[in-house]
Structures are given as C-alpha cells and as structure tokens.
C-alpha cells in the first residue's frame, strides 16, 4: 500500500536526504514539499529543496512558506551568532546544480490548507522536519485543518540534552510558539522523533559507501551529504566510529518501517515558550496520573541498521 505524504522542510543536509527517500521509495507518494525558514534563510531552503528535486528529475511541486518565526523577528538569537562556531556545518546552498524548476507561486500555507481540505485529502500524512511555522500558520488560518490531518510526524525536541541549548533542539527552539501551537491543535495522531531517537540511529562512512554502491543520483547525493555531516558533526567522546545523525530522514523511514523506532512512549508534550534558560524545550509528561490528555507518541530510540537498509532500498528505486 502506498502512503501519500507532504513534506515540510528547511533544507538542510538531512532534510535533503529525507526528500530523496520520500521521492524515491516505491511505497511512498510525495505530493509536495513546503519550505520554511530554519537551517538557513527561506530563500536558501526553497532553492535547496528545488535543487534536490531537480537532482533526481522529480516533478514534485515545491512551495515557499514562512521566512521568520510566527512571533520572533528572526530566531531567539541571530542566525550568524548561532552558526558562529562552524559556518560550514550548515552551508547556505547545497552542492547540487542551481535549480531550473521554479517554486510554485502559491504559498506553502495555501498548499497545506488546500491539500488537506480537498476531497480525499484526509489520508495524507504530513511530515514536518523543520521549524513548525508553516503548519502553525495554516492551522491558525483554517480552524478545520487540525481535524483533516490524519497523521503528523515531527522531527523535533529532545528529552535528553538539546543541540542548541542544554535542553532545546533546533526545530522547536527556532519557533517555540509555532511548535506549541501545533502540539495543542488537537491533531489526532502525532508522532515526534526527538534527538533521543535520531542520535541513537546514526549513520557512518560504511553506510555512505553502501549508498555510493547503489549509484543512483539520490544515493550518491545522499552519501555526499552524510559524509559532510560526519565531517562537521561535533565529536562525541563516547563515539567508537565516525557517525552523524541524519535526523529528518528517520521520519521517512518510520513511515515505511515503524519498527525502526524501537522505543516509543505516549505522553503529553508541550514546548517551553517563556523560560529564561529553557526556551524551546520539549516538556514530555509521561506521569500516569497527569491530568492532561495524551497528545503525542514520542520515539526515544531507533535502529540504525533498519534505517540504513531503508535508505538503500529507497535509493535503489
């Protein structure tokens, strides 16, 4: 059975691998890609998205969305300060040929609303791998939208340590108000893949070699992106080999192989929007006696071998 999906991205090296996998896997039908401000500014996330689609000759439409968080003027701290340590980790433009296909003229928010509100639109899975600004704006503009989205898969948050602050993961931190609005919207099936899951299923150089051996543009393109991630990923003293998380692509693997997520808990999830030191923190409440209803399933561990095999299968197609 084919799963129809829309991807909301801030492309980004790991978003790019997610797009390749979603566009190529035979059990997935990618209907559109919406881009948002995040890893890099919107003009680059949309251009990178188009480059990735062009690289594999895909005619999947791409739409530009929000160029800043819904409340904050830029991000909680300016982008150039955030990326000061290693400006090469997130390059503005991915190393693929400049796009030749333009973005569609409609906004990402319009596309999201129209897709889910259309007849038959309520079987589309939405996978969000960037800050949740586009979706928060769409939910605000169309109150019926939350009830039309059957399943939402989000890369965001951290139960353990964060990757921007001690407790905050990047996607939730960039637009915490949007993340909180999305999680409070009443979407019925929400699956969150925080850093705990993505860090437990890192890919290594041997995975890149395996993708290169597949030889398709998606495979070799992903191998190059993941090697770049490995090269620039901060050293983990506990690591026994050179690896890096490929966060966003794990969301795509979970659509086809739910068993890639080896530990998943039900909980009530909020995102901190006011904390002086905790802005953007994912607050996951799993207390059995909590008085708020469960609003998400949260993956805490994943299997790197299943993930890598999934990508190989996707890239072969």
What positions carry a catalytic annotation? 247
- Residue 181's closest CA among 154, 158, 161? 154
170 binds ligand BDR (CB under 6 A): yes
Q: CA triplet 163, 224, 165: central angle to 5 degrees?
A: 5
Do the beta carbons of residue 63 and residue 37 sit within 8 Å? Answer: no
303 binds, among Ca ion, ligand BDR, none (CB under 5 to 8 A by kind): none
In the complex, what is the shortest distance from the CB of residue 195 to ligand BDR, in angstroms, rounded to a whole number? 6
**CA dist 109 → 96, 154, 159, 248 (Å):** 27, 17, 29, 21
First to last CA, the chain: 16
Do the beta carbons of residue 46 and residue 154 sit within 8 Å? Answer: no
Residue among 7, 8, 12, 116 that touches ligand BDR (CB under 6 A): 12
Show contacts with ligand BDR in window 111-130 (CB under 6 A).
129
Site track 229-268 with ligand BDR (rule: CB under 6 A), x = hit: ------------------xx--------------------
Q: Alpha-carbon distance 198 to 242, whole Å?
A: 15
The closest residue (CB) to ligand BDR is: 170
169 binds ligand BDR (CB under 6 A): yes
Q: Smaller CB distance to ligand BDR: residue 3 or 90?
A: 90
Q: Smaller CB distance to Ca ion: residue 48 or 273?
A: 48
- Under the rule (CB under 6 A), what is the footprint of ligand BDR? 12, 14-15, 39, 129, 155, 163, 169-171, 247-248
């Amino acid at each position: 059975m084919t799963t129809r999906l829309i991807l909301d991205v801030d492309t980004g090296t790991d978003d790019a691998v997610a797009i390749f996998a979603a566009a190529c896997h035979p059990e997935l039908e990618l209907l559109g890609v919406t881009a948002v401000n995040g890893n890099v500014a919107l003009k680059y996330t949309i251009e990178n998205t188009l480059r990735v689609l062009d690289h594999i000759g895909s005619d999947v439409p791409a739409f530009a969305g929000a160029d800043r968080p819904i409340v904050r003027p830029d991000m909680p701290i300016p982008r150039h300060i955030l990326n000061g340590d290693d400006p090469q980790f997130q390059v503005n433009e991915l190393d693929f040929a400049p796009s030749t296909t333009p973005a569609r003229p409609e906004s990402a928010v319009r596309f999201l609303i129209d897709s889910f509100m259309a007849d038959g639109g309520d079987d589309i899975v939405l996978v969000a791998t960037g800050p949740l600004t586009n979706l928060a704006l769409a939910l605000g503009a169309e109150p019926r939208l939350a009830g039309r989205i059957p399943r939402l898969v989000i890369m965001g948050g951290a139960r353990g340590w964060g990757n921007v602050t001690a407790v905050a993961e990047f996607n939730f931190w960039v637009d915490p108000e949007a993340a909180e609005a999305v999680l409070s919207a009443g979407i019925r099936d929400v699956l969150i893949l925080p850093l705990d899951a993505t860090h437990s299923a890192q890919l290594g150089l041997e995975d890149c070699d395996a993708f290169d051996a597949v030889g398709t543009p998606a495979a070799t393109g992903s191998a190059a992106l993941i090697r770049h991630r490995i090269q620039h990923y901060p050293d983990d003293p506990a690591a026994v080999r050179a690896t890096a998380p490929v966060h966003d692509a794990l969301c795509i693997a979970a659509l086809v192989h739910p068993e890639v997520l080896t530990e998943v808990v039900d909980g009530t999830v909020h995102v901190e929007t006011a904390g002086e030191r905790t802005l953007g923190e994912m607050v996951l409440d799993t207390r059995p006696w909590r008085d708020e209803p469960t609003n998400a399933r949260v993956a805490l561990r994943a299997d790197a071998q299943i993930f890598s095999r999934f990508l190989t299968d996707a890239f072969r197609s």
